Amino acid sequence: MSMKEAFDAFFEEMTQNYIKEWVEPPQAPCNEKRRPTGLFLLETLNDEGYAQWKPRLQENNVAFEIIEKTLGFSINSQIKEYFSTYWFLPLEAKLPIESHKVSFTLTGITPYTSIENVILQNFNRTGAHYLSDHNYFLLGTYCKIDGVDSYLVQVNNDTGEVTAVEVMDKKSIKLADSIEDLLYNMKGIW
């Protein structure tokens, strides 16, 4: 499976769940004038300030060579694909894991996002993890596991494994073998 196929599987599942719950495609608070995203369908803006949105394929290549030169190492191909496939709003999801109840939000990436800044700011971010055995990239700043909402969603640059990390108590819970696996298994929540 490719990253695009994994995203497509989640977006389809998210849309169908949203339609089942709200009888229309996904909507979110829309403030395109103040905080542009380029993802809202402005003709659907309602009186409450919500509008439908759609993910959009990225058209331009990200200059990962420059980012890798700044970091001093190669970025995992899964991470590169994740940051260069689609533009999207934050993705709220739950994940079916046998022994845990997990919900989380992956940070959105819009056409106004500087991918370079996001990657550089979210690499081994101070206070975002306690592990020092590998390089980690932050994918989401909210993750709730079994009622505890202080986890962060991170991906290991060396292995591609996605984990939820609770910094204060120094706990890690594996969410998926890869970002593709995570996206494919995520279920949209409303």
**Res 168: pLDDT:** 79
Give a yes or no: residue 20 inside a domain. Answer: no
Cα angle, residue 137 at apex, residues 136 and 142 outer, rounded to 5°: 115
Instruction: Fill in the amino acid letter for 138.
Output: L
Give the whole-angstrom CA distance, residue 153 versus residue 172. 10
Please tell me the predicted confidence (pLDDT) of residue 121: 87
Looking at residue 189, what is its pLDDT? Answer: 78
Asked if the structure places residue 31 within a domain, the reply is no
Task: Indicate which CATH number applies to the domain containing 62.
Answer: 3.40.1580.20
**Which residues is 173 bridged to in the sheet?**
164
* The pLDDT of residue 5: 98
Within a domain: 2: no
**Cα(62)–Cα(80) distance, rounded to whole angstroms?**
8
Domain that holds residue 144: 58-188
Helix (H) or strand (E) holding 67: helix 64-71
- What is the value of pTM for the model shown? 0.91
Q: How far apart are CA 57 and CA 52, in angstroms?
A: 17
Residue by residue, pLDDT tens for the chain (190 residues) are 899 999 999 999 999 999 999 899 999 999 998 999 999 999 999 999 999 999 999 998 899 999 999 989 999 999 999 999 999 999 999 998 888 899 999 999 999 999 999 998 888 655 555 556 668 899 999 999 999 999 999 999 999 999 999 877 878 899 999 999 999 999 987 6
Among the listed residues 55, 58, 57, the one whose alpha carbon sits nearest the alpha carbon of residue 26: 55
Structurally, how many domains does the chain consist of?
1
Contact 174, 182 (CB under 8 A): no
pLDDT at 134: 66
Residue 66, domain member (yes or no): yes
- The pLDDT of residue 29 is 95
What letter does residue 26 receive in the DSSP assignment?
-
Element (H, E) at 140: strand 136-145
Is 159 inside a domain boundary?
yes
pLDDT at 25: 92
Structural domain contains residue 16: no
Q: Is residue 49 part of a domain?
A: no
CA distance 67 to 81: 14
Q: Look at residue 22 and tell me if it is in a domain.
A: no
Q: What is the pLDDT of residue 132?
A: 62
On whether the CB atoms of residues 149 and 137 are closer than 8 A, the answer is: no
Q: Which two tokens stand for residue 102?
A: 């997990």
